Chain A
Amino acid sequence: MQFWYFLTALTLISALMVVLSKNPIHSVLYLVFTFFCISGHYVLLNAQFLMAVNIIVYAGAIMVLFLFVIMMLDLRRNSPDSKTNLTKLAGAVVGGTVLVIFIAATRKINLGTGADNAFYNSQTGMVENLGQILYRNYLLPFELVSILFFVAMVGAVMLGKREAGERNF
């Protein structure tokens, strides 16, 4: 339990540093650290496969996309129109409203007394069980996922279409 508090504090601090750090590259690195902390939470929940997937996909692949986006932005050019008082006011109003909504929604929540031990299966998060279910009961959705990937791939290729005569850099 103490370790959970430590890990949660670490996660929240690194997530705050994502927002607060000035350098976007540092933000991305803090985000990687946040993902590792969330993987630690998955381990505490006995979902080791989700932990591995979180590290491989989020900390590995999604971060590559984020880094490429940052490299495509022109960091040297400072955009002053995003820092006007009006945008600050709008951001404060939106953030405050979301905070109020969250507090109102979770105020009367009943967290219960813990896991129901009679129906609790500690092996639910294991990769073998996922395989058994995914490749026997949910075979068609699994194949549809590949169609989805295919569509995403074709869409990426279409969006990144090169204009005639365009060169690297």
Chain B
Amino acid sequence: MLSEFGYILLFIITAIVFTAVILFVAKLLRPNRPNVEKLTTYESGEEPDGNANVRFNIRFYVIALLFVLFDLELVFLFPWATVFGNETLNNSTDGLWGWFAIVEMFIFVGILILGLAYAWIKGHLDWVRPEVQEPQFKSPVPISKYEAINKKYS
């Protein structure tokens, strides 16, 4: 009666219905006593300042684009994985097919890794770190005296 994908559809429907039922039961059971502290964005956390709708830097977009390209590479890996260990192909070529398949995929991934290396060298993968400021205070007591005291009482 049901095809194999019919079962998958049943799984999806069951997941949605089950989640809805659980959330509804939880809504019936739980006490509802909100206060100002509970309703903050980060409870017991930092106070958010301003709006979240700020303009993001374009560098995030470059990272996202790199992600998309490697995601597309993954699409090509799936059909490759199904034929890589193909027994009839392997036997008819004395095992040469396996080497052939792995070399072609290494070339494919290698060219993509070149692109990643280019982005890396251009500094798109590392972020601006906050600079630690050394205090410029000149103490009349030399540092060696402090170190001697630290050593004495440690």
Contacts and interface: CB of A to CB of B under 8 A. Distances in A.
B118 A135 contact: no
A74 B55 contact: yes
A81 interface: no
Contacts of B82: 127-128, 131
A41 B47 CA distance: 46
Interface in B66-81: 66-69, 71-76, 78-81
A143 B73 CA distance: 11
A153 interface: yes
Given A61-B67, A157-B119, A68 B76 contact: no
Interface in B30-87: 51, 53-62, 64-69, 71-76, 78-83, 86
Contact of A156 (B66, B86, B128): B66
Contacts, number: 136
A44 B64 CA distance: 31
B124 A160 contact: yes
B102 to A, nearest CB: 11
A149 B76 CA distance: 12
Main SS class of interface, B: helix
B7 interface: no
Interface string B81-121: 11100100000000000000100100111011011101100
Nearest to A147: B111
Interface of B: 5, 51, 53-62, 64-69, 71-76, 78-83, 86, 101, 104, 107-109, 111-112, 114-116, 118-119, 122-124, 127-128
Given A68-B64, A132-B86, A153-B116, 12 more contacts: A61-B67, A71-B56, A73-B55, A127-B82, A134-B80, A135-B104, A150-B111, A150-B115, A156-B62, A157-B115, A160-B58, A168-B127
7 contacts: A61-B72, A131-B82, A134-B80, A135-B80, A149-B72, A150-B114, A153-B118
Interface of A: 43, 49, 52-53, 56-57, 60-62, 64-65, 68-69, 71-76, 127-128, 130-132, 134-136, 139, 142-143, 145-147, 149-150, 152-154, 156-157, 159-162, 167-169
